[in-house]
Amino acid sequence: MNPRKEQQDLIKNPLPVSTVDFAACPSEQVLQNIAFLTGSIEETQLHINYLQRQLDQLKSRAIAENIKESAGFFLVETPGKKMRNAITNIEAFKTRFPDGYKCIRTQQATDIFDRFDFDTKNLEHSPIPITLADVKVGKDLVTEFVGYQLQKVSITVMKNSVGQRQIK
């Protein structure tokens, strides 16, 4: 098949998107491919979100209606990790475990003082929090001192309107 016939055939019978290597396109096709793939990803994500909601609803329904088996399929329930409850009734804990309570509070106080001592000894070499510097010195002065560091450049490809060129 010659290139012209192949091109006409591809227009009538395009390849499935999953078999196309979009990155191997010619330079004049790059922006169009970015726009196409961005739209495709957005559509696919919406479809995935829809399917996930349907799946969650069906799982909840299977549990609520106690459906354990159906047409050769069966439900397997795997319990998640058990998390112990926090000790919120301090007085009851203190009454039930007086020695343990004293030991725990002593250890907590020791840990707090140790962290304080460590932080105080290393304060001179620790970073200065930018938000604290902004409050104490002034955001404009601090920014003038440190400047800005570009974090990320993002691009968006948009289709030109008639007579307009939009680049973001």
Q: Would you say residue 79 lies in a domain?
A: no
pLDDT tens for residues 92-139?
A: 999 999 999 999 999 999 999 999 999 999 999 999 999 999 999 999
User: Based on the domain organization, do 7 and 64 belong to the same domain?
Assistant: yes
Query: Is 114 within 8 Å of 106 (Cβ atoms)?
Result: no
User: Based on the domain organization, do 96 and 64 belong to the same domain?
Assistant: no
Overall domain count for the chain = 2
- What is the full DSSP assignment across 40-88? HHHHHHHHHHHHHHHHHHHHHHHHHTT--EETTEE---------PPP--
Length of the chain: 168
pTM (two decimals): 0.53
The DSSP element (H or E) to which 136 belongs, if any, is helix 130-137
Which segments within the chain are labelled E, that is strand?
A: 69-70, 73-74
pLDDT tens for residues 18-47?
A: 677 888 888 998 998 899 899 989 999 999
User: Based on the domain organization, do 101 and 47 belong to the same domain?
Assistant: no
Q: Which domain holds residue 118?
A: 92-126
User: Based on the domain organization, do 98 and 64 belong to the same domain?
Assistant: no
